[in-house]
Amino acid sequence: MSLSAAVAIGVTSRSLQVCAANNTIPTGMDGKLIGLKVRSPVMPRQVNTSAVRKRAQAPHVAVVESPRSKRSQIVKAATHVFLTHGYEGTSVAAVAAAAGVIKATIYSHFKDKQSLFKAIMEDLTLSKGFDRFEAEAQTLEPSEFIDFLANKIAGRHADPQFRSLIRVVIGESGRFPEISKLFYETVSARGNRMVAKYLASRPELDIEDPAATAQVITGSMVYWLLSQEVMGGKHIAPIAAERIVVSLKLLIAGRSPRKRKSRK
């Protein structure tokens, strides 16, 4: 700064030092305050050491996925792959990729491709209420039982995944007879046994062959499902499911000793 400028302002370095020593505010020759830019001191940021210590001491909690949820994840992915590409067109590697797991994970839950396909069948049938079928049916009267059974089967035909499963089993059973056998053992035979057991538990029906009668009842309903929904019969010769149910009720009622006496 030039001397003339210092004089004009009325402040010299000496006067600033004096003001600083005396803790006074510097003024110019005209008595006005001199605008000095003073930076506020930057205070160091205080760290909450207790919070840091707690975070450091907190144990790491690992999220462990249960085997059941992993199995469900695999079955869900396998259902999509099998029903989209068929039994022959599906590999364990493709299912693993769809499920986001490695092949070793699948083999830790399922023995082979066939056992995985069986799990799909069970998931699309037994897990949809058929696993409770026997316990629920035992308290029903015969007429109610037929309605109950029909509703169960009708509920399956409304499921597009179940219809796709039927198509896969029928379409590939010639090249892979093991899958049709697997379907019969897992779904059909089990259903027939449950119906036969119910009929045998009702002595008032006087049914001589519960197993054969069970085949008639379930076969009628399943054939209606196949002919109407899978093979497109509803567009050619439609028949309402209620007509099948009424006929089966009459069949069961006709086996009653009371009905037999009324015919004589």
What DSSP element (H or E) covers 192?
A: helix 189-200
In the chain, % of residues over pLDDT 90? 43
DSSP letters along 47-93, please?
Answer: P-HHHHHHHHHSPP---PPPHHHHHHHHHHHHHHHHHHHTTTT--HH
The three-class DSSP label of residue 33 is strand
Beta bridge partner(s), residue 124: none
For residues 154-175, average pLDDT: 87
Percentage with pLDDT > 70 across the chain:
69
pLDDT at 92: 96
List, in sequence order, every residue forming a beta bridge with 33; answer none if it has no partner: 27
Position 33 pLDDT exceeds 60: no
Domains present along the chain, CATH in parentheses = 1-30 (no CATH), 66-113 (1.10.10.60), 125-263 (1.10.357)
Q: Check if the beta carbon of residue 40 is closer than 8 Å to that of residue 17.
A: no
The predicted pLDDT at position 181 comes to 93
Can you tell me the distance from the alpha carbon of 235 to that of 73, in angstroms, rounded to the nearest whole number? 37
Span 216-232, mean pLDDT? 88
**DSSP secondary-structure letter at 235?**
G
Among 43-52, 171-180, 199-208, 224-233, which stretch is predicted with the lowest mean pLDDT?
A: 43-52
